[in-house]
Amino acid sequence: MIKKRIKGNYNGQKAIVIALLCFYMALVIVPFVILVCGSFSSSDAIKDVGARPWIQGFTIEAYQLVFENPYQILKSYGITILVTVVGTVLNVALCSMTAYALARPNFKFKRILSFFYAFTIMFQAGFIPTYIWYRNYLNIYNTIWVLILSPCFVVGHVVMLRAFYSAVPKSLYEAVKIDGGSEFRMFLTIATPLILPGIATVAFYTVLIYWNDPFTAMLYTDDIVPISLYLTRLQQYIALLREAAAGKMGGINPGDVSIPENTLVFAMAMVTSAPIMFIFVFFQKFFLGGLTAGSIKE
């Protein structure tokens, strides 16, 4: 009797957990379905009844407007991919080497470097000194390197990777020392392969930083346009056309302007987020493991 009651309570708790998980999945999936369906829906239908998780009056007018200049958008994608790949490699390399050094107990400058890194989180120079530094001293203004180097070193990633490196068993380091291995060998062949989930997590976060950053290009470049800045300018251009169509600007007849502004936002979000969603699927196993593996200690 007691076993049946315990089993019944367990099944009831299991049903509650499954119901909560299904509800959470619906909260996550339904907005994405609305995004996809809204990008292919008619602008008038979206304006009248709002976005729905089904297509209302199928049309690709919003995507036609986004890809109206295919050369420019392909160029912007190329710039973004180049900056993201090179920046992610440099970020992961610098952050992992720094985190490994800070995780080693025999590193004498560990405390002072940790203080300086924490200081940069609390206090930042601001736009004007950074602009002068990039333009007059580093000479990287209006170059591809300003997009790569500006967000290259993230202290938060160092803190995360330091937790991973600290979790590596010290006995492995001692075994390498007995075999005559150098510190670089311990870092490259022992510690780093053991924390690949953490490396993948940091890499994914870095990809997000580079991919969704229009402000660095907006502030420190003149004619280098990544995809995020391209879509931001397109949205500003559409807002300008909307004002012209509303009669707030002279010289344009409102009937001459057809703007799918209600579905354009959905299409722009799809163009920006689709590659990131593909990358997340690829890194999912490492990403999920990396969220918790760094907290495990020997």
pLDDT at 6 over 60: no
What is the pLDDT at residue 86? 93
52-100 pLDDT, tens digit each: 778 887 888 878 877 877 788 888 889 999 999 999 999 999 999 999 8
What is the pLDDT at residue 9? 61
Work out the pLDDT band at 254, boundaries 50, 70, 90. very low
* Whole-number average pLDDT of the chain: 79
What average pLDDT does range 174-183 have in this prediction?
A: 76
pLDDT at 148 over 80: yes
pLDDT above 70: percentage of residues in the chain: 83
Work out the pLDDT band at 294, boundaries 50, 70, 90. very low
What is the pLDDT at residue 245? 61
Question: When comparing pLDDT for 32 and 262, which is higher?
Answer: 32
What average pLDDT does range 26-48 have in this prediction?
A: 80
Q: What is the rounded distance in angstroms from the CA atom of residue 260 to the CA atom of residue 275?
A: 24
Joined tokens for residue 239: 């807002």
What is the pLDDT at residue 298? 46
pLDDT at 297 over 50: no
pLDDT at 296 over 50: no
What average pLDDT does range 155-176 have in this prediction?
A: 84
Most confident of 8-17, 267-276, 282-291: 267-276
What is the pLDDT at residue 146? 92
